[in-house]
Amino acid sequence: MLLLVLSSLIVTANTQTLAHTVQISENVGATIHLEPNDNPRAGEVTQIWFALTRKGGKVIPLKNCNCQLAIYSEPHVTGELALIEPRLKSIQAERYQDIPGAEVTFPKPGAYQLLLSGKTAIEGKIKPFELQFLVTVATGKAVDIPQSGQNIGREETTNRLAQPLILLGFLLTSGCIVVFLKPIK
Protein backbone atom coordinates (compact mmCIF):
# COMPACT_ATOMS: atom_id res chain seq x y z
CA MET A 1 0.00 0.00 0.00
CA LEU A 2 2.80 2.39 0.91
CA LEU A 3 4.53 1.60 -2.39
CA LEU A 4 1.33 2.46 -4.30
CA VAL A 5 1.00 5.83 -2.52
CA LEU A 6 4.67 6.68 -3.11
CA SER A 7 4.50 5.73 -6.80
CA SER A 8 1.42 7.93 -7.30
CA LEU A 9 3.26 10.84 -5.67
CA ILE A 10 6.22 10.31 -7.99
CA VAL A 11 3.94 10.24 -11.05
CA THR A 12 2.16 13.40 -9.84
CA ALA A 13 5.48 15.14 -9.21
CA ASN A 14 6.76 14.20 -12.67
CA THR A 15 3.59 15.44 -14.35
CA GLN A 16 3.89 18.79 -12.61
CA THR A 17 7.56 19.04 -13.57
CA LEU A 18 6.77 18.48 -17.25
CA ALA A 19 3.74 20.79 -17.25
CA HIS A 20 5.50 24.08 -17.93
CA THR A 21 8.51 23.34 -20.12
CA VAL A 22 11.06 26.13 -20.59
CA GLN A 23 13.25 26.48 -23.69
CA ILE A 24 15.95 29.08 -24.39
CA SER A 25 17.43 30.22 -27.71
CA GLU A 26 19.85 33.11 -28.07
CA ASN A 27 18.59 35.67 -25.54
CA VAL A 28 14.92 34.63 -25.68
CA GLY A 29 13.18 32.11 -23.47
CA ALA A 30 9.66 30.74 -23.42
CA THR A 31 7.54 28.69 -21.09
CA ILE A 32 4.82 26.67 -22.84
CA HIS A 33 1.43 25.95 -21.32
CA LEU A 34 -1.37 23.82 -22.78
CA GLU A 35 -5.01 23.95 -21.66
CA PRO A 36 -6.68 21.99 -20.31
CA ASN A 37 -4.25 21.18 -17.49
CA ASP A 38 -1.19 20.61 -19.72
CA ASN A 39 -2.90 17.45 -20.98
CA PRO A 40 -3.92 17.92 -24.64
CA ARG A 41 -6.33 15.33 -26.05
CA ALA A 42 -6.70 14.32 -29.70
CA GLY A 43 -9.77 15.76 -31.42
CA GLU A 44 -10.36 18.37 -28.72
CA VAL A 45 -9.43 22.05 -28.83
CA THR A 46 -6.21 22.80 -26.96
CA GLN A 47 -5.20 26.34 -26.10
CA ILE A 48 -1.43 26.74 -26.30
CA TRP A 49 0.34 29.81 -24.99
CA PHE A 50 3.94 30.88 -24.60
CA ALA A 51 5.27 33.15 -21.85
CA LEU A 52 7.92 34.67 -24.10
CA THR A 53 10.64 36.67 -22.33
CA ARG A 54 13.97 38.23 -23.11
CA LYS A 55 17.09 37.87 -20.99
CA GLY A 56 16.38 39.45 -17.63
CA GLY A 57 12.76 38.25 -17.56
CA LYS A 58 11.01 41.09 -19.42
CA VAL A 59 7.91 39.74 -21.21
CA ILE A 60 7.85 40.08 -25.01
CA PRO A 61 4.29 40.82 -26.18
CA LEU A 62 3.16 39.31 -29.48
CA LYS A 63 2.89 42.77 -31.06
CA ASN A 64 6.68 43.15 -30.61
CA CYS A 65 7.52 39.75 -32.06
CA ASN A 66 7.14 38.35 -35.56
CA CYS A 67 6.47 34.81 -34.29
CA GLN A 68 5.29 31.67 -36.09
CA LEU A 69 4.21 28.33 -34.69
CA ALA A 70 4.64 25.10 -36.65
CA ILE A 71 3.47 21.72 -35.36
CA TYR A 72 4.98 18.46 -36.59
CA SER A 73 3.93 14.88 -35.89
CA GLU A 74 6.88 12.97 -34.45
CA PRO A 75 9.04 11.55 -35.79
CA HIS A 76 9.43 13.94 -38.71
CA VAL A 77 12.09 14.64 -41.29
CA THR A 78 13.87 18.00 -41.48
CA GLY A 79 12.37 20.02 -44.32
CA GLU A 80 9.00 18.27 -44.05
CA LEU A 81 5.94 20.54 -44.19
CA ALA A 82 4.29 21.25 -40.86
CA LEU A 83 1.15 19.29 -40.00
CA ILE A 84 -0.47 22.41 -38.51
CA GLU A 85 0.56 26.08 -38.68
CA PRO A 86 -1.90 27.90 -36.44
CA ARG A 87 -2.13 31.67 -36.47
CA LEU A 88 -0.82 33.12 -33.24
CA LYS A 89 -3.00 35.63 -31.44
CA SER A 90 -2.39 37.87 -28.48
CA ILE A 91 -3.85 36.43 -25.27
CA GLN A 92 -3.90 37.05 -21.52
CA ALA A 93 -3.00 34.06 -19.36
CA GLU A 94 -2.24 33.88 -15.67
CA ARG A 95 -0.10 36.96 -14.93
CA TYR A 96 0.96 37.51 -18.56
CA GLN A 97 -0.59 40.06 -20.94
CA ASP A 98 -0.55 40.04 -24.77
CA ILE A 99 1.56 36.89 -25.11
CA PRO A 100 1.50 34.55 -28.15
CA GLY A 101 -1.16 31.86 -28.09
CA ALA A 102 -3.17 29.64 -30.43
CA GLU A 103 -6.01 27.14 -30.42
CA VAL A 104 -5.12 23.78 -31.95
CA THR A 105 -6.90 20.47 -32.46
CA PHE A 106 -4.38 17.63 -32.60
CA PRO A 107 -5.62 14.96 -35.06
CA LYS A 108 -4.53 11.86 -33.13
CA PRO A 109 -2.75 10.80 -29.95
CA GLY A 110 1.03 10.65 -29.95
CA ALA A 111 4.13 12.81 -29.90
CA TYR A 112 4.31 16.22 -31.57
CA GLN A 113 7.02 18.84 -31.91
CA LEU A 114 5.96 22.47 -31.53
CA LEU A 115 8.40 24.89 -33.13
CA LEU A 116 8.07 28.54 -32.10
CA SER A 117 10.30 30.78 -34.18
CA GLY A 118 10.58 34.47 -34.84
CA LYS A 119 12.37 37.70 -34.25
CA THR A 120 11.48 40.80 -32.37
CA ALA A 121 10.00 43.92 -33.91
CA ILE A 122 12.39 45.92 -31.73
CA GLU A 123 15.58 45.82 -33.81
CA GLY A 124 18.83 44.97 -32.11
CA LYS A 125 17.24 43.83 -28.85
CA ILE A 126 16.72 40.16 -29.72
CA LYS A 127 18.28 37.91 -32.32
CA PRO A 128 16.11 35.54 -34.39
CA PHE A 129 15.17 32.53 -32.29
CA GLU A 130 13.82 29.01 -32.61
CA LEU A 131 12.34 27.10 -29.66
CA GLN A 132 11.33 23.43 -29.82
CA PHE A 133 8.86 21.80 -27.45
CA LEU A 134 7.92 18.11 -27.40
CA VAL A 135 4.29 17.46 -26.48
CA THR A 136 2.48 14.18 -25.93
CA VAL A 137 -1.20 14.17 -26.89
CA ALA A 138 -3.53 11.77 -25.08
CA THR A 139 -6.35 9.75 -26.62
CA GLY A 140 -9.49 11.76 -27.32
CA LYS A 141 -11.70 12.00 -30.40
CA ALA A 142 -10.19 10.95 -33.75
CA VAL A 143 -10.04 13.79 -36.31
CA ASP A 144 -8.82 13.92 -39.91
CA ILE A 145 -6.72 17.00 -40.67
CA PRO A 146 -5.49 17.22 -44.27
CA GLN A 147 -1.72 17.24 -44.57
CA SER A 148 -0.08 20.30 -46.11
CA GLY A 149 0.35 19.86 -49.84
CA GLN A 150 -2.21 17.07 -49.96
CA ASN A 151 -4.54 17.17 -52.96
CA ILE A 152 -7.84 17.49 -51.10
CA GLY A 153 -10.06 17.81 -54.20
CA ARG A 154 -8.76 14.71 -56.01
CA GLU A 155 -11.06 12.19 -54.27
CA GLU A 156 -14.13 14.39 -54.75
CA THR A 157 -13.38 14.82 -58.48
CA THR A 158 -12.87 11.06 -58.89
CA ASN A 159 -16.23 10.34 -57.24
CA ARG A 160 -18.03 12.86 -59.48
CA LEU A 161 -16.54 11.29 -62.62
CA ALA A 162 -17.20 7.70 -61.55
CA GLN A 163 -20.99 7.98 -61.45
CA PRO A 164 -21.46 9.13 -65.09
CA LEU A 165 -18.93 6.52 -66.28
CA ILE A 166 -20.83 3.74 -64.51
CA LEU A 167 -24.10 4.97 -66.03
CA LEU A 168 -22.50 5.15 -69.50
CA GLY A 169 -21.13 1.62 -69.10
CA PHE A 170 -24.56 0.33 -68.07
CA LEU A 171 -26.25 2.01 -71.06
CA LEU A 172 -23.66 0.66 -73.52
CA THR A 173 -23.98 -2.85 -72.11
CA SER A 174 -27.79 -2.68 -72.28
CA GLY A 175 -27.63 -1.38 -75.85
CA CYS A 176 -25.27 -4.17 -76.93
CA ILE A 177 -27.54 -6.81 -75.39
CA VAL A 178 -30.60 -5.38 -77.19
CA VAL A 179 -28.73 -5.18 -80.52
CA PHE A 180 -27.45 -8.76 -80.29
CA LEU A 181 -30.74 -10.24 -79.06
CA LYS A 182 -32.86 -8.64 -81.83
CA PRO A 183 -31.29 -10.59 -84.74
CA ILE A 184 -31.78 -13.88 -82.87
CA LYS A 185 -35.62 -13.60 -83.13
CATH number at residue 44: 2.60.40.1930
Same domain, 128 and 173: no
Same domain, 36 and 81: yes
Output the CA angle 139-78-35, nearest 5 degrees.
30
Residue type, 55: K
87 within some domain: yes
- Give the number of domains in the chain: 2
85 within some domain: yes
56 within some domain: yes
Quick: pLDDT tens for 20-59.
Answer: 688 988 788 999 999 988 899 999 999 999 999 988 889 9
Quick: pLDDT tens for 141-168.
Answer: 766 655 443 333 433 434 444 455 454 5
Q: Which helix (H) or strand (E) holds 99?
A: strand 96-105
Q: How confident is the model at residue 14 (pLDDT cuts 50, 70, 90)?
A: very low
- Domain span holding position 57: 2-137
Same domain, 56 and 129: yes
Q: What is the dihedral of CA 112, 74, 86, 28, to 10 degrees?
A: 70
The yes-or-no verdict on residue 62 having pLDDT over 60 is yes
Same domain, 102 and 177: no
145 within some domain: no
95 within some domain: yes
148 within some domain: no
Q: SS3 string of the chain?
A: CHHHHHHHHHHHHHHHHHHCCEEEECCEEEEEEEECCCCCECCCEEEEEEEEEECCCCECCHHHEEEEEEEEECCCCCCCCCCECCCCEEEEECCEEEEEEEEEECCCCEEEEEEEEEEECCCCCCCCEEEEEEEEEECCCCCCCCCCCCCCHHHHHHHHHHHHHHHHHHHHHHHHHHHHHHHHC
Same domain, 126 and 167: no
143 within some domain: no
Same domain, 92 and 177: no
Same domain, 35 and 81: yes
Same domain, 116 and 172: no
